[in-house]
Amino acid sequence: MNTIVANKFINSNQTLTHIAVVMDGNGRWAERRGYVRNQGHKIGVSSLKQLVKNCINERIQYLTVFAFSSENWTRTESEIVFLMTLFERTIRAELQGLAKQGIRLKFVGNNDSLPDSLVGAMREAEQTTESNNLLGLNICFNYGGKWDIVQGIKKLLENNPDVIKDYTKLTEQSFSQYLALADIPEPDLFIRTGGEQRLSNFLLWNLAYTELYFTDILWPDFDKGDLREAIDFYVGRKRKFGGTVDFRVGASEDENNDQLSNIL
Ligand code: FPP
């Protein structure tokens, strides 16, 4: 069994464990070439396959992608049917190859309104790959960050009916165990292609301290060099998690007072 060794970048002490991606711009990519929008989604699958390989090469441990949002149901019926069919066919066609590469698949989202055959393909893919650990590939499908928080509350209450009596003991940590991606580290880097600069209801809780990277590249064009650029952006960031770099815990009172008088 392959086990990944955490990456560490030469000019940084930071590791990059988990990348989350909004794969935006398939429709525009197709329209600019005079194709129907669905052609963009088809090429978008190839782009995702490349990203998976490139993440393995970069020794990323978790990749989470937004494949279909709770809000995508407002698209035309023909695009929705195309996407459902494309997802199911891709899962079935790629499963053995992904399993051999050491990828562990997880599908995250609300399955209630999905076709039974698609849910069946997702469950089969999860079961076939569950003991793999080279790359955890999480595919968010019929997913919304707000849905995730509400399903977490429901699960918490289901598992602990007495929590209402004891609600003051509830903490961020005890609640977050019930979120869909509870068992893995929060994303270090968020990438959104397609030029928009918003989260679009993706992983709202999990992205609290994630570094955000936006690029105009349309998803079908996103390649190895674009991933490298995003990683270089990440490596250049100073992550503070709400702390400061100027006011060091280990600094003397005089040093911190000097800092204060410089600022005020
Ligand atoms: C957003 O682009 C993209 C989607 C809603 C679909 C993303 C899905 C894939 C790339 C395929 C993934 C496949 C599997 C099996 C997980 P858009 O259509 O909103 O583009 P636009 O903003 O240019 O219209």
Q: Determine contact, residues 53/97, Cβ cutoff 8 Å.
A: no
| Ligand 1 near 125 CB (within 6 A) | no
Tell whether pTM > 0.85.
yes
Q: Which CATH class is domain 18-144+186-236?
A: alpha beta
Annotated catalytic residue within 7, 72, 110, 201: 72
Q: Give residue limits of the domains in the chain.
A: 18-144+186-236
Let me know if 226 is a catalytic residue. no
**Of the residues 22, 26, 198, which should be mutated to test ligand 1's pocket, given the most ligand atoms within 8 Å of the CB?**
26
pLDDT of 250 reads 46
- Check pocket membership of 220 for ligand 1, CB cut-off 6 A: no
- Tell me whether residue 206 is one of the annotated catalytic residues: no
Given the residues 2, 13, 24, 246, select the one marked as catalytic.
24
pLDDT, averaged per 10 consecutive residues of the chain (264 residues), comes to: 60 83 98 98 98 97 97 96 97 98 98 96 98 98 98 94 86 95 97 98 97 98 98 89 58 57 58
Q: Which long-range contacts (CB under 8 A, 24 or more apart) does 109-114 make?
A: 109/68, 109/70, 109/140, 109/141, 109/142, 109/143, 109/147, 109/180, 110/70, 110/142, 110/143, 110/147, 110/151, 111/142, 113/73, 113/142, 114/84, 114/141, 114/142
What was the pLDDT predicted at 7? Answer: 73
